[in-house]
A and B are shown apart, each in its own frame.
Chain A
Amino acid sequence: MIHIKKYHTNNQYMHPRTIEEITILPGKNRSGNIENFSSITIRPGDTISIVGPTGSGKSALVNDIEIFAHGDTVTGRTILVNGEQAPEDFVRDPAKKPVALITQNTKCLADMAVEDFLEMHVRSRKMTDERIVEKTIALANEFTGEKIRPGVRMTSLSGGQTRSLMVADAIIISNAPIILLDEVENAGIFKEKVIECLRTHQKALIFVTHDPVVSLLSAKRIVMKNGAVECILEPGDEEKEALAEIIRMDQTFCRMRELIRAGEIIRSVNPV
Chain B
Amino acid sequence: MKLIVIAGPPSAGKTAVVKQVIKRYSGEKRCAYLKIDVVRAFEDEELAAEFGIPTKKVYSGDVCPDHVGILVMKDAIGWAASERADIFIVESAGLCLRCSPFTTQSLGIVVLSAISGVNTPLKMSAMLALSDIAVVTRTDLVSQAEKEVFREKIREVNEGLDIIETNAVQGTGLRYLFRAIDEQAEISDPEKIVLKGAPPLGVCTICVGKKEIGWQNHFGVIRKLEGADFLFRGD
Contacts and interface: CB of A to CB of B under 8 A. Distances in A.
Question: A and B from one assembly?
Answer: yes
Interface of A: 1-7, 63, 66-67, 72-73, 88, 91-95, 100-103, 105-110, 117-118, 120-121, 124-125, 166, 169-170, 173-174
A7 B148 contact: no
Contacts of A63: 170, 172
Nearest to B147: A94
B188 interface: no
Contacts of B47: none
Nearest to B164: A92
A106 B142 contact: yes
A5 B160 contact: yes
Contact of B175 (A72, A124, A173): A72
B144 A120 contact: no
A102 B145 CA distance: 12
Contact of B160 (A4, A72, A100, A169): A4
A105 B140 contact: yes
Contacts of B196: 1, 3
B145 A7 contact: no
Contacts of B129: 2, 4
12 contacts: A2-B129, A3-B130, A88-B176, A103-B140, A106-B143, A109-B115, A109-B117, A110-B118, A117-B145, A120-B149, A121-B145, A173-B145
Interface string B148-179: 11011000001111111100001011011000
Nearest to B196: A3
Interface residues of B, number: 33
B173 A91 contact: yes
Nearest to B158: A4
Given A6-B160, A109-B143, A120-B145, 9 more contacts: A2-B130, A3-B196, A5-B132, A7-B161, A7-B162, A121-B144, A124-B152, A166-B144, A169-B143
B161 A92 contact: no
Contact of A166 (B130, B143, B175): B143
B141 interface: yes
Given A3-B196, A4-B161, A94 B151 contact: yes
A109 B142 contact: yes
A92 B165 contact: yes
A170 B141 contact: no
B45 interface: no
Q: Is the interface of B mostly helix, strand, loop or mixed?
A: mixed
Contacts of A93: 151
Give 9 nearest A-B pairs by CB, closest first. Answer: A121-B145, A4-B160, A6-B160, A108-B143, A124-B152, A94-B148, A124-B148, A124-B149, A94-B147
A67 B158 contact: no
A3 B152 CA distance: 19
B220 interface: no
Contacts of A169: 143-145
Contacts of B144: 94, 100, 102, 121, 166, 169-170, 174
Interface string B109-151: 0000001011000000000011010000000111111111101
Given A3-B196, A7-B160, A94 B143 contact: no
Contacts of A106: 140-143
B199 interface: no
